[in-house]
Amino acid sequence: MLLQQLVNGLTLGAVYTLVALSFSLVMGILSVLNIAIGELFMLGGYLGFAIIARGLPLPLAMAVAMLGACVVAVIIQKIAYEPLRDAPLITPMLSTLGFSIILQNVVTNVWGSDPLQLPSEMFDGDFQIGPVRIGVMQIVVIGVTIILVGAVAYLVQRTPAGRALRAIAENRDVARLLGVSVSKTTFLAFAISGLLAGAAGVLISLHYAAITPYIGVDIGLKAIAVMVIGGTTRVWGALLAGPLIGIAEVLTIAYGGSQIRDLVVYGLMILILLLRPQGLLGGARSDVGQRV
Amino acid sequence: MLKVRGLEVFYGPIRAVRGIDLDIEAGEIIALIGANGAGKTTTVRAIAGLTPYKGSISYDGKTLPPNSAELNLRAGLAMVPEGRGILGRMTVEDNLNMGTYCRKDHAAAARDIAEMFERFPILKERRQSLANLLSGGEQQMLAIARALLSRPRLLLLDEPSLGLAPKTTTAVFELISSLRRDGLTVLLVEQKARQTLKIADRAYLLETGRVVMSGPAQDLANDSLMSQAFLGGATAL
């Protein structure tokens, strides 16, 4: 039973990890919380859902969702961030909040406010490994997450574009002196962030076999909690905090009931921050530099 | 090579630089000296393209638009900022890779990095170390090596001796002299006027955002006013 819940928690945590990485990439470059990422995630879920519900293959659904969320992320960058880049940090944050409400409204008007559900026979196979039953859907969610995290890690750590992202996150002036374009790198951060959010949206719609226009708020807030728990100065903290929160949530539902789920998750966040304000993988408390 | 005319830089209502003119010819080491708050760093940041300014800065006859550091680097103008500006959470090797970021000739860039490792063996030895674990002198070597990897023709150095031990400072000044021998033009911002004037061809003395003295470095070193104010009262050279 416990092992089964751990697998379920890892599946949910994988989605949290992707959305938290999406938040972190933008936050690392700009120190701005792009609140609309929760709704990009939701939009990705609906786009993927629309493809899957028509019986088209999952890879196509992933591609459309990721591309759609990526395009909207870049639009958000151009409209909600770029004109306000010299304003106080709270200003672009509020403009992304405005975008998130608009996105939610658009989706509600297109797909309605009631939850959409996948046919129950989709992705319903499973494998029995000892006492643990692992669904095809769970393998897809965890597998896609590992591939995407690996791809982002490769890009950030091994490519010139990734080095530019890290350079700007650490010291913008020095990065400029080395020839890094702030606007191109910001574009890249928003685009990758959108790709990850879109993919996570499809995965969560598979996980729940349903989606609502309001899922972005719920998952988005949890992803922010994951980002904070992982460490506000270390983007890869999400790899630890995502599964941790996913497992905590699933175990709470299994053994305590869903009515105390958020109490436990956010209580855990507050507890960790009281014990380690810099987060699990954060450096010294004074370390407020690089996040990427 | 570089002409600065009527340079003014404002920080809000404060005029930090008040109409500076500078000329740098190819192959020279030009020193920009002065006390804290004289406007040296602000001037060099404006030239590098990190700060908006009024006036004009032209490089090889072309006007450099304000606040355009990325373009200035591609034009052949590199800067090592005050405090060295190393990327401390990257490895030594990644810092050097960032030095070639704007280059398209990847094979030649890789060869240049290998040459830098030959020139600075300590960097080769510590290529996988995080840059913030290097000593101050090693960080300065890394910062200069990284700047050189963009193949600049004009190198701006802002207080390269800051925080370094005397022996390391001497090594850094020797390195700067060797760069000039290699054909590089250097604008050197320093507070250590005595050592700076020894290696410079010409110098500008700044006070409260203005040039108050300029000329051959030897003349400034022998100037009595300069000597009293910045060289400890003794004849410098």
Q: Which residues contact A284 (CB under 8 A, 6 or more apart)?
A: A278
Considering only CB atoms, B85 lies closest to which of A163, A174, A289, namely A174
Contact: B101, A164; criterion CB under 8 Å: yes
Q: Does B155 touch chain A (CB under 8 A)?
A: no
Mean pLDDT of B142-169: 93
- Kindly list the structural domains of chain B, giving each domain's residue range(s) and its CATH number in brackets, ordered by start: 2-89+152-230 (3.40.50.300)
Alpha-carbon gap, residue A40 to A220, rounded angstroms: 10
pLDDT reported for residue A120: 64
Considering only CB atoms, B87 lies closest to which of A160, A174, A182, namely A174
- Which range among A53-62, A129-138, A155-164, A238-247 shows the weakest confidence by mean pLDDT? A129-138
Domain of residue A177: give its range.
11-213
A276 occurs within a structural domain = no
Residue A89 or residue A70, greater confidence: A70
At position A49, the amino acid (one-letter code) is F
pLDDT at A285 over 80: no
A57 occurs within a structural domain = yes
Kindly indicate the confidence band of residue A108, based on its pLDDT and cuts at 50, 70 and 90: very high
CA triple A251-A255-A260, angle to 5 deg: 80
pLDDT reported for residue A273: 86
Residues on chain A touching B81 (C-beta within 8 angstroms): 173-174, 177
pLDDT reported for residue B236: 41
Residues on chain B touching A172 (C-beta within 8 angstroms): none
A225 occurs within a structural domain = no
pLDDT reported for residue B230: 66
pLDDT reported for residue A286: 40
pLDDT at A5 over 70: yes
Mean pLDDT of A84-93: 87
Using an 8 Å Cβ cutoff, are A44 and A62 in contact? Answer: no
Q: Enumerate residues 104 to 143 of chain A having a beta carbon within 8 A of any beta carbon in chain B.
A: none
Q: Does B84 touch chain A (CB under 8 A)?
A: no
Residues on chain B touching A180 (C-beta within 8 angstroms): 70, 101
pLDDT at B65 over 50: yes
Element housing B113 (H / E): helix B106-119
pLDDT reported for residue A146: 94
Alpha-carbon gap, residue B59 to A236, rounded angstroms: 43
Q: State which residue of chain B sits closest to A163, comparing Cα positions.
A: B98
CA nearest to A201, candidates A28, A23, A22, A48 = A48
Using an 8 Å Cβ cutoff, are A113 and A49 in contact? Answer: no
Residue A126 or residue A232, greater confidence: A126
Q: Enumerate residues 39 to 58 of chain B having a beta carbon within 8 A of any beta carbon in chain A.
A: 48-50
Each residue's pLDDT tens digit, A205-228: 888 888 999 999 999 999 999 988
- Which range among A23-32, A51-60, B45-54, B188-197 shows the weakest confidence by mean pLDDT? A23-32
Alpha-carbon gap, residue B39 to B22, rounded angstroms: 13
The CA distance from B228 to the nearest CA of chain A, in Å, is 36
Ramachandran class of B232: left when φ > 0, alpha when ψ lies in -120 to 50, beta otherwise: left
The size of the A-B interface in CB pairs under 8 A is 64
Considering only CB atoms, B81 lies closest to which of A166, A173, A289, namely A173
* DSSP percent split of chain B into helix, strand, coil, nearest 5: 40, 25, 30
Partners of B185 in beta bridges: B154
pLDDT at B234 over 70: no
A117 occurs within a structural domain = yes
Q: State which residue of chain B sits closest to A174, comparing Cα positions.
A: B85
Contact: B101, A174; criterion CB under 8 Å: no
A220 occurs within a structural domain = no
Considering only CB atoms, A180 lies closest to which of B49, B70, B147, namely B70
Kindly indicate the confidence band of residue B232, based on its pLDDT and cuts at 50, 70 and 90: low
Each residue's pLDDT tens digit, A117-152: 877 666 678 888 888 888 888 899 999 999 999 999
A128 occurs within a structural domain = yes
A19 occurs within a structural domain = yes
pLDDT at B235 over 70: no
Tokens encoding B173:
């000044």
pLDDT reported for residue A96: 94
pTM, entire model: 0.87
Q: At what angle do helices A37-53 and A58-76 cross, to 10 degrees?
A: 150
- Which range among A112-126, A233-247, B155-169 shows the weakest confidence by mean pLDDT? A112-126
CB burial readout B170-181, b (16+ within 10 A) else e: ebbbebbeebbe
Q: Which residues contact B181 (CB under 8 A, 6 or more apart)?
A: none
Kindly indicate the confidence band of residue B224, based on its pLDDT and cuts at 50, 70 and 90: confident
Each residue's pLDDT tens digit, B5-44: 999 999 988 899 999 999 999 999 999 998 888 899 999 9
Q: Which pairs count as long-range contacts for A236-240, CB under 8 Å and 24+ apart, including other chains?
A: A236/A153, A236/A281, A237/A279, A237/A280, A237/A281, A237/A282, A238/A16, A238/A17, A238/A20, A238/A21, A238/A24, A239/A17, A239/A149, A240/A280, A240/A281
Mean pLDDT, chain B, integer: 91
pLDDT reported for residue A289: 45
Quote the number of domains for chain A. 1
Kindly indicate the confidence band of residue B163, based on its pLDDT and cuts at 50, 70 and 90: confident
pLDDT at B2 over 80: yes
pLDDT at A243 over 80: yes
pLDDT reported for residue A149: 92
The CA distance from B173 to the nearest CA of chain A, in Å, is 22
Using an 8 Å Cβ cutoff, are A169 and A81 in contact? Answer: no
CB burial readout A199-228, b (16+ within 10 A) else e: bbbbbbbbbbbebbbbbbbebbebbbbbbb
A130 occurs within a structural domain = yes
Mean pLDDT, chain A, integer: 89
pLDDT reported for residue A37: 95
For the beta carbon of residue A150, count every other beta carbon within 10 angstroms. Answer: 10
Using an 8 Å Cβ cutoff, are B29 and B154 in contact? Answer: no
Residue B228 or residue A267, greater confidence: A267
Residues on chain B touching A290 (C-beta within 8 angstroms): 89
The CA distance from A278 to the nearest CA of chain B, in Å, is 17
The CA distance from A16 to the nearest CA of chain B, in Å, is 26
pLDDT reported for residue A162: 93
Each residue's pLDDT tens digit, B171-194: 999 999 999 988 899 999 998 888
